[in-house]
Structure formats: C-alpha cells, structure tokens
C-alpha cells in the first residue's frame, strides 16, 4: 500500500515559522554597519535579507500573524522578541532608546520607516543629483559606482 504524503508542517523543521535555531542568539548583531540616520536604505535591505534567510521576515511584514491559540501565542511572542532583539542590536544607541518599548517587530519596522523616509527623501534627491553629475569614464569603477547609486535609490523603505 503506498504511503500517504504527510503535508503537515513538522515542528522544528526548517519550514517552521517559529523555529529558533540553537545559534539564534538574542544578542547577535545581524547587520553591519549599525543603523544611523544616514544609512537606512542599505540597512533595511541588509536586514531584510538576513530575516528572510532566518525565515523571520513575516514578523516585520505581518505575514506571520499573532495567533489566538495560547501555545502558538507563546511561540510567536518568543520569536517576535528574538527578532526585536536582533533589530535593537543592529541600530545605533540614539535610535535604540526610541523603539525599545515597542510591543511588536511590526511597530518597530513602521516607526523606523516613518522616521527615516523623511531623511531618505533628501538622500534620494542627492543620489539623483550624483547620478546626473557622474560622467561616463573609461575607469572600471564607473559602472560599479552607478550601480551602487541606483541600487541604493531603489532599496529605500522596501519593507
């Protein structure tokens, strides 16, 4: 008799949204340099990549909703606090104080985005000016410089 395929998610598997690996320390600094008022675009891009690899981006974009079931709620809170700790450890101390008491990672994410979108409007303008002023050179770094500027411009506030 053929075996039935088990489509249930196995707790502790790599697909488990609440999986916390033994190396997932709440004191880890996941991205460098730390978030400052000048680097939000590159910081959020790097943080998004890291959280995707750890299967935790859903706490930022709310695709992993807060469950009503008590046991799942406990697991959700543990993971939410872990991701919040990673974010707090990856930002500068002046910013750290202002988001320390947020209840969820989503609140932290929205706060940072709202705060830095204003700074990024100026950054986008400066990048556009820099791109417009950059002259095509035969130097090999010209295309690299242009790509970095365009990538930085397009990555601002993506989450």
126-158 pLDDT per residue, tens: 666 776 666 655 556 766 766 676 666 555 544
Residue 26 lies in a domain: no
Residue 115 lies in a domain: yes
| Number of domains observed in the structure of the chain | 1
Which residues constitute the domain of residue 133?
A: 40-154
Q: How does pLDDT run across 43-71, given as a tens digit for each residue?
A: 999 999 999 999 999 999 999 999 999 88
- Residue 115: per-residue pLDDT: 84
CA distances from 61 to 48, 52, 104 (A): 10, 11, 11
Query: What is the token pair recorded at 67?
Result: 């469950």
Residue 29 lies in a domain: no
Residue 150 lies in a domain: yes
Residue 51 lies in a domain: yes
pTM of the model: 0.69
Are 51 and 60 in contact by the 8 Å Cβ rule? The answer is: yes
CA 67 to chain centre: 22
Helical H segments across the chain, by residue range: 40-53, 58-61, 70-89, 93-99, 105-133, 141-154
Residue 4 lies in a domain: no
Residue 159 lies in a domain: no
- As a whole-number percent, the residues of the chain with pLDDT over 70 amount to 66
Residue 13 lies in a domain: no
């Amino acid at each position: 008799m053929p075996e039935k395929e088990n489509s249930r998610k196995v707790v502790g598997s790599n697909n488990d949204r609440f999986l916390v690996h033994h190396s997932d320390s709440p004191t880890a600094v996941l991205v460098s340099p730390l978030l400052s008022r000048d680097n939000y675009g590159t910081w959020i891009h790097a943080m998004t990549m890291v959280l995707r690899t750890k299967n935790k981006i859903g706490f930022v974009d709310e695709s992993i909703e807060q469950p009503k079931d008590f046991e799942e709620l406990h697991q959700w809170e543990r993971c939410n606090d872990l991701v919040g700790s990673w974010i707090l450890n990856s930002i500068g101390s002046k910013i750290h104080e202002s988001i320390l008491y947020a209840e969820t990672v989503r609140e932290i994410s929205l706060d940072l985005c709202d705060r830095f979108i204003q700074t990024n409007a100026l950054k986008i303008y400066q990048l556009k000016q820099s791109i417009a002023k950059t002259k095509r050179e035969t130097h090999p770094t010209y295309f690299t410089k242009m790509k970095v500027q365009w990538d930085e411009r397009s990555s601002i506030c993506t989450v």
